[in-house]
Structure 1
C-alpha cells in the first residue's frame, strides 16, 4: 500500500497499521536477541564445566618418570558425562605430537593456543557436532631429552545434546514471555488509541448534530493539543461564514427597508402621470420619476457596494498611495469644476506605501470625495491630503462645508445615518462604506473638523504593515 494512501484512512486504522507492524518487528528482533543471549549463556555455563574437567585432568598429569603420565580420574569423567548428558572425549598430547593419549583424532584447535588460556570451538567428530575445549601449558620438568618450554595440549570434547536442550528450553521460555508481552502491548496500544481518539469522535458527533444555521464557535474544552489548531481554523472559517451570512441578511433587510419607499413613490408618480391629460404636467411628472429613479439606482448601487465590501476577499498588494490618491482625485476634477469647487491634492513629503486592495481603497476615496463635493457650497474648497507617521498612513479629505455637529460624529458612519443639518438627498451609506473598507484593511475611519474648526475632515487611516485580509 502506498504510504500516502494511509492518510485517507481513519486515524485509528492509520495508527494501528503503522504501530502494530512496528511492534511485531521489534518483537522479532527481541526473539532473535533472546536466542543469541540464550546460546551465549549456555555456552558460557557449559564451557566453565568443560574447563573444570580440563583443570581436573591437568592436575593428574605427571612427568616425574621422564615420560608423560596421566592418571585419569575416571569417576570425574563419568560424572562429567552425566552432567553433559552425552558422550565425552579427551586427548592429552605433547605439542610436537610425540606422545598422544586418548582420542588422538579429536579436531585440533582452530587457532594457536596461548599457554594457560583455554580456547573453545565447535567441530564435528564421528559425524556429530561437539564442543571442544583446548588448553596448553608448559611441562615442568619437560620430558626426558626435551628442551625446556615443552608444552602439553589437553582437549576435552562433549556432544551438544544437553547444551541444545538447555538452549531450546531457555529460548522457548523467553519467546513465550516476549509473545505475551507483545500481545499485552498491542492490546494496550489499541485501547490507548481508541481512548485518545474519543475527543475526535465527540467533535465529529457535535458538528454533525448542528443545524445548518448554527454558526457558533466549537468549544475547545477536552480537545487534544494536536487537534486544537484544526478546531481554531474551523472556528475561524465559521466566523467568516457567520460574517458573510450577517452581511447578506443586512443587505436583504436594508434593501427591503430602503427600496420599499422609493418604489412606492415611483408607483404613485407613474399612476399620476398616466392620469394627467396635460402634456406639460405629464412631462413634469416624468422628470420627477426620472429623478426618483436616479436616486434609487444610486442607493441600490451604494447598498451593493457595501455588501461587496463586507464579503469580498481582499486582494491586497503593496501600493504607492500617493499615485493612487492623485489618480482618483484627478477623476473628480470635472465634477468639481461644474460645481465651481477648488479640488486640490497635497502629497506627502515622501513616498507612502501600504498593503491594501487598490480597487477598494479607490472606492473609499471616491465616496469621501462625493460627499465632500455634494456638501461644500459653490466656490468652496476641498483638499485631499496625505500624511504619515511611523506606523500608519492617513488619507484625508477636508472641506469647508457645513460639517457635522460634534454629537453626531459617533454615528456618522452608521448605515443610513443622515446628519440633522443635511439639506440634500442621500443614502447615508457613503461613510459606512468607507469605514468598512478601512476596517477590512486593519485601519479606521476618523472624523473631525476641518481647518480652523470649520468644515469637515474625513480620514482613512491605514497601518504601514501587512495585515490579514
Structure 2
C-alpha cells in the first residue's frame, strides 16, 4: 500500500493528542480517587457520630441482654443500606448486636477515648467499622464497647456518581483543548506561507532564502538549503568558467588550423601542404593538451566524494616512476627521496595524484635539459607531512611569485610550451585535500613547490 507524504500537521497533532489523551485518562482516575476519598471522609464522620450517639444512649440505659425496639431501629437504620452493630460488656460479654465482630480485636479495645475506625469483612462483603467505649449505667466497673459497621458499597457508589458529574465536564474541556490545538497548529503553520511564496516566485535564482520571517525552529533546514544553493551556484560558476576558458583557449588553435588549411588549399604545392600539415599537427597537440588540462582543472575544482587513508611513502614513488621514461627522453634526472616507514594522510588518492603529477610535469617542462628534479616526502612535525618537487632550473622571478597558481599565467621569459594550468590544477586539488601549496626559490637556483597536508595519526 502506497502511503502519502508525511504531514507535519498530522505529526504535531499526534504528538499533542496522545499526551492529552493520556492526561485525560490520568485526570479521570485521579478524579475518581479524590471523589472516593471525599466520600470516605463524609461517611466516616457520619459513622463515628452515630457510634458516639448510640454509645451515649446506652450509657443512660440499664445493661440488659437486649435493646429496646427504639434503640435497635435507631442504630440499624441506614438510608443507603444495612447497618451492623455489636455491644460488648467487659463483664457480661456480648449483650446485643446483629453481627459478630469477635474476629477484630479493636472491638474489645477500650483503651482509647476517641472512636476507632478500621476495615473488615462481614458476610463476604467489605465493611467499615467504628468502635467507642462507654461505662454501663448500673455498674461503674463495667465498660461497654459499642461497634457500628456499614458496607463500603455505598461509598463507592457516591464516588461513581461524583465521577459521572466530572467526566462530561472533562470531556468538554478535552474537546475545547483539541479545537484550540487544531487551530493553533493550523494557524502556526501559516508562518511558512511567506517562505513558500518566495520560493514559488523564484525563476532559477540560487540566492539564500533565509530572512527575518523564517521561524527559528526551521533555521537548520533553511541553512542546509542555503548551503545547497551555494554549492549549486558554485558548480554553475565553475561550469560557466570552464566553458569560457575552453572557448578562450581553443579559439586560437582552431583559428590557426583554419588558416593553415586555407594556405594549403591556396598554394597546393607539396611543400606548402606539408608545412601546413605540420603546423596543424602542432596546433592539434596543443588543443588536445589544453582540453586535457581544462578537464583536469574541472575535476580538481570538484570536492572529492570519498577520502581514505593514504600511505604517501608508498604511493609517491609509484607516481614518480610513471614519469621516468619521459624524463629520460628529455635528458632530465628524475629521482625520489623519502622515508622507508609509512607516512599516512587522509585524502583522495586520485586528487592527490593529479596535484603531484602536475607539479612534476611543470618541473620537467620548465627546468630545462640536463636538469635534476627531485620528488620527496618528509614529515615536518607530528602534525604535517610535506610532498615536494624541486629542480635546479632557472627558478621564478620573485616579483611574479605571488601570481603562481593563477589560471593561464606563465612566468615571463618562459621558452617551453605550456597552458598555464598546471599549478592552478595543483592549487585547486590541494585546497580540496585540506592542504596548502607553497613556492620557494632555492638559494643555488631552481624552484621548490611543496604540498603540506595534515598527518594522519593513530594506527
Answering whether residue 117 of structure 2 is matched by residue 118 of structure 1, we say: yes
Change beyond 3 A, Cα 1:337–1:31: same
The yes-or-no answer on 1:100 pairing with 2:91 is no
Aligned to 2:248: 257
Who is 2:55 aligned against?
A: 58
Note closer, same or farther for the CA distance 1:149–1:355 as it changes in structure 2 (3 Å cut): farther
Instruction: Verify: 1:379 aligned to 2:376, yes or no.
Output: no
- Secondary structure of 2:301's counterpart equals helix
Q: 2:306 maps to what in 1?
A: 315
Aligned position for 2:290: 299
Q: Deviations over 1:342-381 (max 9, x none)?
A: 2222214753211121122112122111111111221222
Match of 1:154 among 133, 144, 147: 147
Q: For residues 98 and 433 of structure 1, do their structure 2 counterparts lie closer, same or farther at Cα, with a shift above 3 Å needed?
A: closer
Counterpart check, 1:412 vs 2:404 = yes
1:395 to 384, 387, 409: 387
1:63 CA displacement:
8.7
Distance 2:327 2:79 in 1: 119
Question: For residue 112 of structure 2, what is the aligned residue in structure 1?
Answer: none
- Residue 291 of structure 1: how far off its partner (Å): 0.8
SS of residue in 1 equivalent to 2:116: coil
Q: Cα gap change, 1:121/1:252 in structure 2, threshold over 3 Å: closer, same or farther?
A: same
* d(CA) in 2 for partners of 1:44, 1:241: 74
Contact 2:58–2:136, Cα closer than 8 Å, also in 1: no
Counterpart pick for 1:331 among 310, 322, 325: 322
1:200: Cα distance to partner?
4.4
State whether structure 2 residue 127 is matched by structure 1 residue 135.
no
Which residue is 1:39 aligned to? Answer: 36
What is the CA deviation profile of residues 83-140 of structure 1, one whole-angstrom value per residue up to 9, with x for unaligned ones?
A: x766775645447876336xx3xx5559515035234569799xxx997644364765
State the secondary structure of the residue aligned to 1:319: strand
User: Can you list the C-alpha shifts for 1:275-333, whole angstroms capped at 9, x where unaligned?
Assistant: 33321221121111111101110111111111122125343211111222211112222
Residue of structure 2 equivalent to 1:174? 166
When residues 111 and 263 of structure 1 are mapped into structure 2, their CA distance, relative to the original with a 3 A threshold, is farther
Residues 430 and 451 in structure 2, CA contact (< 8 A), matched pair in contact too: yes
Q: Equivalent residue of 1:343, what SS?
A: strand
TM-score w.r.t. length of structure 2:
0.83
Q: Is the 8 A contact 2:210 2:223 kept in 1?
A: no
Which structure 2 residue ranges, 5 or more long, are not aligned? 110-114
Residue 439 of structure 1: aligned partner:
431
Task: Check whether the contact 1:57–1:73 (CA below 8 A) recurs between aligned residues.
Answer: no
Q: Distance in 1 between matches of 2:83 and 2:271?
A: 143
Instruction: For residue 407 of structure 1, report the CA deviation from its aligned partner.
Output: 1.8
Question: Which of 427, 437, 456 is the aligned partner of 2:447?
Answer: 456
CA contact (8 A) 1:384 1:397 kept: yes
Q: Return 5+ residue gaps in structure 1 as ranges.
A: none
Give the SS at the match of 2:263. helix
The question of whether the paired residues in 2 share the 8 Å contact of 1:88 and 1:159 is answered with: no
Of stretches 384-393 and 87-96 in structure 1, the one that deviates more from structure 2 is 87-96
CA contact (8 A) 1:396 1:460 kept: yes
**Distance in 2 of aligned mates of 1:159 and 1:345:** 100
Answer yes or no: is the 8 Å Cα contact 2:313–2:341 preserved in 1. Answer: no
Q: Distance in 2 between matches of 1:93 and 1:205?
A: 87
- Residues in 2 aligned to 1:300 and 1:164: alpha-carbon distance in whole angstroms: 93
CA distance in 1, matches of 2:332, 2:18: 82
Q: Is the 8 A contact 1:62 1:70 kept in 2?
A: no
The one of 271, 286, 290 equivalent to 2:262 is 271
CA distance in 1, matches of 2:385, 2:315: 13
Q: 1: distance between equivalents of 2:309 and 2:151? A: 89
RMSD in angstroms over aligned alpha carbons?
3.8
CA distance in 1, matches of 2:189, 2:440: 57
Aligned residues: 447
C-alpha change, 1:31 and 1:349, in structure 2 (3 Å) is: same
Equivalent in 179, 202, 207 of residue 199 of structure 2: 207
Q: What is the CA–CA distance in structure 1 between the aligned matches of 2:101 and 2:14, rounded to whole Å?
A: 51
- 2:32 partner SS: helix
| Greater mean deviation of Cα atoms: 250-259 or 312-321 | 312-321
1:65–1:57 CA distance, 2 compared to 1 (3 A): closer
1:14 counterpart = 2:16: no
Q: Secondary structure at the match of 1:154?
A: strand
Quick check: 1:61–1:69 contact (8 Å CA) kept in 2?
no
* Conserved 8 A contact 2:335-2:373: yes
SS of the residue corresponding to residue 311 of structure 1 reads coil
